Amino acid sequence: MSIFNLKNKSILITGSSRGIGKSIAHQSALHGANVIISSRKLDACEKTAQEINNDVGSEVAFPIAASISDENQLNDLVNQTKEKLGKIDVLVCNAATNPYMGSMLDMPSDKFDKVMNNNIKSNQILCNLVLPDMIERMDGSIIIISSIAAIKGSPILGAYNISKAADVMIVKNIATEFGHKNIRANSIAPGLIKTDFAKALWENPDILKTVLGATPMKRIGEPDEIAGVAVMLASDAGNYINGQTIVVDGGTTIS
């Protein structure tokens, strides 16, 4: 049996109706997992779940709508996931927001608060909700999708960068506190990936030229290239990786 096998694993993935989250859900399902498709809109979740189920050939993806901005909905998401799948072996915090591009001097306080709430607080809440059961079972994997924005400054994405750096520290703290309970917590730091979320960046000719100029592979990434790392971290292949941030950027941050 492959060490990348996810058979009998139950995985909750936020922001999984499209983009990176959808790819993680799809690839996890192909590797044997049962997955929860979650985003704000139920119809989008249902559509993605159906696509995955059709491709896999069995019912392995289940839609549950929830907004990461609402703590009550996060509680309901975890409870409904456990009712549907019995347990949560792997939590993937992928959903995030970035409502502002520009100087930090001009960023409205409400937009700053929204980034911090959705990109940091919601992830910590979800982790706290799933950890007790993981600790009791002495097994669990938490994956937070961070960004190379966590390790690079930006003149136009300051708050987003701050939030993604905080996500890196969340997994370090969890790994440090609960590693002895066989809990693994890691983050993935994608570079520029061809998703709707990052469209404002890769559709901007000047930004794209700058990114490609600093990227040895001379292209931006695809969602499945992030999903592969998530599958590794969710499976036995990632059992001894803990508290780490895996950069997946085609080499952008090395040049």
> CATH no. for residue 70?
3.40.50.720
192: phi > 0 → left, psi -120 to 50 → alpha, else beta; which?
beta
Domain assignment present for residue 107? The answer is yes
Lowest average pLDDT, out of 44-48, 154-158, 183-187, goes to 154-158
Give start and end residues of each alpha helix (H) in 57-157. 71-85, 109-116, 122-137
Percentage, residues of the chain above pLDDT 70: 99
Which residue range forms the structural domain that includes residue 32?
10-254
What is the number of domains present in the chain? 1
Give yes or no: 160 in active site.
Answer: yes
pLDDT of residue 234: 98
Domain assignment present for residue 208? The answer is yes
Domain assignment present for residue 1? The answer is no
Q: Walk across the sheet containing 140-145 and list its strands.
A: 61-63, 34-38, 10-14, 90-93, 140-145, 183-190, 245-248
- Per annotation, catalytic residue among 24, 122, 147, 160: 160
Q: Can you give the pTM of this predicted structure?
A: 0.96
Domain assignment present for residue 4? The answer is no
Q: Is the pLDDT of residue 168 over 90?
A: yes
Domain assignment present for residue 71? The answer is yes
Domain assignment present for residue 221? The answer is yes
Domain assignment present for residue 72? The answer is yes
Domain assignment present for residue 223? The answer is yes
d(CA 155, CA 14): 28
pLDDT tens digit sequence for 119-165: 999 999 999 999 999 999 999 999 999 999 999 999 999 999 999 99
Rounded mean pLDDT of the chain?
96
pLDDT of residue 1: 80
pLDDT of residue 176: 98
Q: Is the pLDDT of residue 90 over 90?
A: yes
pLDDT of residue 102: 95
